[in-house]
Amino acid sequence: MGKVVVVTSGKGGVGKTTSTAALGAAVAKTGKKVALVDFDVGLRNLDLIMGAERRVVFDLVNVIQGTAKLSQALIRDKRVDTLFLLPASQTRDKDALTEEGVGEVIDKLRSVFDYVFCDSPAGIERGAQLAMRFADEAVIVTNPEVSSVRDSDRIIGLLDARTMRAEQGEQIAKHVLVTRYDAGRAARGEMLSIDDVLEILSVPLLGIIPESQDVLRASNLGSPVTLSEPLNSAAKAYIEAARRLEGEELPVIVPFERKGFLDRLLGRRAA
Amino acid sequence: MNLLDIFKRRSSAPVARERLQVLLAYERRNRSQPDLVSILREEIMAVIAKHVQIDQDYLQVSMERGETMSTLEIDIQIPNKSPAPMAIAG
């Protein structure tokens, strides 16, 4: 039985979709069978980040409504052959997903794949709750920024109350993934530190993804950063986060900024 | 005051941390009571509806939390008469 991981956050724009793609690709590269499921019905973006936007024929809503088979809707990645994508629909009907339907699809995926990553829509509404409903584990994507941390706290509350596991009295494993971390700003006390975030949310850390232009470039090119530039610092951080997700015990090193004398004097950013 | 401090901007992260801690402490406390007001509202409506017909809009339930005491305010407007019987067409 595969593991179902929801990638979620309260606030939008923190990097859920990018992180889903990067983590999923990193796990798939180790030979595990991975399915990425886009739950953002109405907006959908995982297909674009994965570079599969022109290959979408059927989607999650088709599968749930029975107009397509799961095998017809799954798109195999062209770079990693154990990586699959189940795209979201662009339908405007917000109620296109039913709880029973989602449950059936997740069960089928769980029986075939080692990992099922669910890319949640932003917010705390129905869509986000359906994405987390059947998850075994949750990756909470957070920026070191007040509004993002606050909304993450809200999501953690929902994970502990509204998931199937929580209702059955079990715990859902939770991890915080801090993205867009700027070591320089943190050093200058302009950005919440990792310790602050962890202390406030009291959820274990999965990884710290440094702010990097390569992440944007990877999105532009339609390739997860862990595949297109695996040696980049952000990609390395994602690959390590993926290994921790698989149970490996790796210490997390907080990125620091190397500054020269002149930079320090002028308070400039080194990067 | 260190002379170097003039060149440094005051760091904002500690302020952010404190604001968050206060805010989340408050929000978490309220979250444990799952929307008590709306549950009360529905149940009060159901009880009244057994006897009198009232409109959703005429029932106001609000709760104010104070330091030592909280108040629950319920405002129900019950129409004086039941709607006038329909005229029977002759």
Distance of CA A207 to CAs A145, A179, A238, Å? Answer: 16, 8, 7
Q: Residue A78 above 70 pLDDT?
A: yes
Q: Is the pLDDT of residue A270 over 50?
A: no
Judged against a pLDDT cut of 80, whether residue B79 lies above it is answered with: no
Between residues 173 and 192 of chain A, which touch chain B (CB distance below 8 Å)?
A: 186, 188-192
Cβ contact, residue pair B13, A193, below 8 Å: yes
Asked if A43 is an interface residue toward chain B (Cβ–Cβ < 8 A), one would say no
Is residue A167 within 8 Å of A133, Cβ to Cβ? no
Closest by Cα among A233, A147, A242, A251 to A183: A233
Whether the CB of A28 is below 8 Å from some CB of chain B: the reply is no
CB A34 within 8 A of CB A117: yes
The answer to whether A143 and A106 are in contact (CB under 8 A) is: no
Q: Which is more confidently placed, B72 or A236?
A: A236
Contact map slice: A 98-157 vs B, CB within 8 A: 145-146, 149-150, 153-154, 157
Q: Is the pLDDT of residue A23 over 80?
A: yes
ipTM: 0.77
CATH topology of domain A3-249: Rossmann fold (3.40.50)
Nearest CA in chain A to B22: A200
Q: Of A118, A121, A112, A195, which Cα lies nearest the Cα of A164?
A: A118
Q: Which of A152, A178, A174 is nearest to A245 (CA)?
A: A174
- In chain A, residues with a C-beta closer than 8 Å to the C-beta of B8 are 188, 267
Give me the mean pLDDT over the A202-220 stretch.
95
Mean pLDDT for the stretch of residues A191-198: 94
Average pLDDT, chain A: 93
Interval A239-253 mean pLDDT: 95
pLDDT of residue A271 exceeding 60, the answer is: no
List chain A residues with CB under 8 Å of B23: 150
Phi, psi of A91 (to 5 degrees): -55, 150
3-state secondary structure B48-88: HHCCCCCCHHHEEEEEEECCCCEEEEEEECCCCCCCCCCCC
Of residues B13 and A268, which shows the higher confidence score? Answer: B13
CB atoms closer than 10 angstroms to residue A151 = 20
**Partners of A177 in beta bridges:** A141, A207
| B12 CB within 8 Å of a chain A CB | yes
User: pLDDT higher for B89 or A239?
Assistant: A239
**pLDDT average, residue stretch A226-253:** 95
Asked which of A37-51, A83-97, A222-236, B21-35 is least confident by mean pLDDT, the reply is: B21-35
Share of chain B above pLDDT 70, in %: 73
Distance CA A208, CA A263 (A): 24
**Residue A122 neighbours by CB under 8 Å, 6+ apart:** A9, A10, A11, A12, A13, A16, A128
pLDDT tens digits, B23-41: 898 888 777 666 677 788 8
pLDDT of residue A131: 97
CATH homologous superfamily of B18-78 equals Cell division topological specificity factor MinE (3.30.1070.10)
Q: Per the confidence metrics, is the pTM higher than 0.90?
A: no
Q: Is A41 annotated as a binding residue?
A: no
Q: Residues A81-125: pLDDT tens digits?
A: 999 999 999 887 767 899 999 999 999 999 999 999 999 999 988
Q: Which two tokens stand for residue B71?
A: 């108040």
In chain B, what is the straight-line distance between the N-terminal and C-terminal CA atoms, in Å?
95
Strand segments, DSSP code E, in chain A are: 3-8, 34-38, 75-76, 83-86, 115-119, 137-142, 173-181, 205-210
Domains of chain B, residue spans: 18-78
What's residue B90's pLDDT?
46
